[in-house]
Amino acid sequence: MIVHALIVAGGRGVRAGDGVPKQYRPVGGRPALRHAVAAFTGHPAVARTVVVIHPDDAVLYADAVAGLSLGPPVAGGATRRESVLAGLDDLADEDYPPTHVLIHDAARPFVTVGMIHRVIAALHDGRGAAPSLPVVDSLRTGDVMVDGEVDRTRLHRVQTPQGFDFAAIHAAHRNVAAGRCGAAAREASDDIAIARLNHLEVALVAGDEAAFKLTTPDDFARADAMLAGRMIPRSATGFDVHRFGPGDHLWLCGVRVPHSHGLIGHSDADVGLHALTDAVLGTIGAGDIGTHFPPSDPQWRGASSDRFLAHACALVAAAGGVIDHLDLTIIAEAPKVGPHRAAFAARVADITGCRSVSIKATTTEGLGFTGRGEGIAAQAAASVRVPG
C-alpha cells in the first residue's frame, strides 16, 4: 500500500465566529491545522501529505505549517467536494500515485495514531473505511413537544480521516462532478456519501472522542481545556560533535556560514540541528538521530539536517505534544556565533514552529579538541508538554 493523506483546509468556518478561518486559529498555542497535519506527517504509514487550501490563505498556511515536511498546497474550490477533487487530481498527477488515500478535515486537529492505524488496516480488505462513534444519547423527534423517538442502535457519528482505494474514490468524485450521479449528489456532505453514490462499500472502525470537530467558539474552549488538562511537562538534552575538514563553509542551525573549514559527517554535519534533534526526540523517548536516520543508510549522505529536526518535531506533534522552548549552546573557538545568532534562531523557529528559541555560544578557553580548533560541539535542551 502507498498511502497519502489529503487534508481539506479551504473552508471559511463562519460558525466559529469572527477572525481568521478556524483551521488557522490557535489551539494549545499552535494553529489547529498544524495539529492535524503533524499527525499525518509523523505517521510511518503515510508516505505523503497534501493540504488543500483557500487561495486567499497562502500566508496563513505557510506560517501554520512552517518546518513540516509538505509539498506545495493545492488551491481548493467553492465547496468541500470541489476541494477534495482538486486534491485528488493533484495526487493523480504524481509520477507514483498512491494506492490509497486518507481524506481528513483540518477542523479535526486531534486525530489519533490509533484512528489512522485502524482506517489503514481496514483498507487492506476493502475499498473504503471511516472512524465512527456510537450514538449514546436517546433521540427524540418533535418541534415544541416530543412526538416520537428514533432507534439509535444502527446510528453512528462519523469522523475523519475517511480512507479509500485511491482510484475508486477519484473516479467516484469525477462521476459526481460530471453529473453522472444525479444533481443532488453535488450536495454530498462527505466522502462516504460520494463513495456510496458510486456503489463503494465503506467499513466502520472505532473512532475517538478526542477527535471532535471544531465548529463553534465553545469547541475551541473545549479543545484548549482538554489540552491543558492532560499535558505534562518534559525536558531532554542532546549533544553532538563534528570535526573540521576541507571546505570553505559549514552548516550551523540550518544556516550556511562561510568559514576556513567545513564539518565532516554523513549528512551535512550540522552539529546544532543534530543536538536539537536528539533533545526533541528525547522528550518523547523516541531514541536518537541514528535510530531514525542511520549513517549506514546511503539515502542520508549529504542530507540537509533540517529534515531530521522537522521529523523529530512531527513525532512530538503526532504524540499530541507541544514544543515550548528550545535552547542550544554552540561550543567552538570559531566561527563566531554572535554575527549569526539571530539568523540561527529564526531558522530553528521556522523548522520547528517553536517561537521560543535561545542560541548561546561559548569556548573552552583553548582546552580540549574544540579549544585546539579541531571541531565544534553543541549541547541542546528541549522543553515540551505532552499528554499525560
Write down the pLDDT at residue 184.
Answer: 76
CA distances in angstroms from 93 to 6, 97, 100, listed in the order given:
14, 7, 14
Mean pLDDT of 59-87: 90
The crossing angle, in degrees rounded to 10, of helices 306-318 and 341-352 is: 40
Tell me which residue has cell 498511502.
3
How far apart are the C-alpha atoms of 86 and 351, rounded to whole Å? Answer: 28
CATH code of the region 3-215: 3.90.550.10
CB 314 within 8 A of CB 42: yes
Q: Which of 15-29, 182-196, 243-257 has the lowest mean pLDDT?
A: 15-29
Q: What topology is assigned to 232-387 in CATH? A: 60s Ribosomal Protein L30; Chain: A; (3.30.1330)
At 319-329, the pLDDT tens digits run: 778 899 999 99
In this model, does residue 388 exceed pLDDT 90?
A: no
0.75 exceeded by pTM: no
Higher pLDDT, 94 or 246: 246
- Range(s) of the chain covered by CATH 3.90.550.10: 3-215
What mean pLDDT value characterizes the chain?
Answer: 91
Residue 111: which residues within 8 A CB-CB, separation 6 or more?
36, 39, 40, 104, 160, 161, 208, 211
How far apart are the C-alpha atoms of 66 and 301, rounded to whole Å? Answer: 24
DSSP states of 208-251 = -TTS----SHHHHHHHHHHHHHHEEEEEEEEEEEEEEES-SEEE
Write down the pLDDT at residue 40.
Answer: 93
- Range(s) of the chain covered by CATH 3.30.1330.50: 232-387
* 303: phi then psi, degrees, rounded to nearest 5: -65, 150
What type of residue is 342? A
Mean pLDDT of 338-359: 94
How far apart are the C-alpha atoms of 260 and 333, rounded to whole Å? Answer: 13
CB 326 within 8 A of CB 279: yes
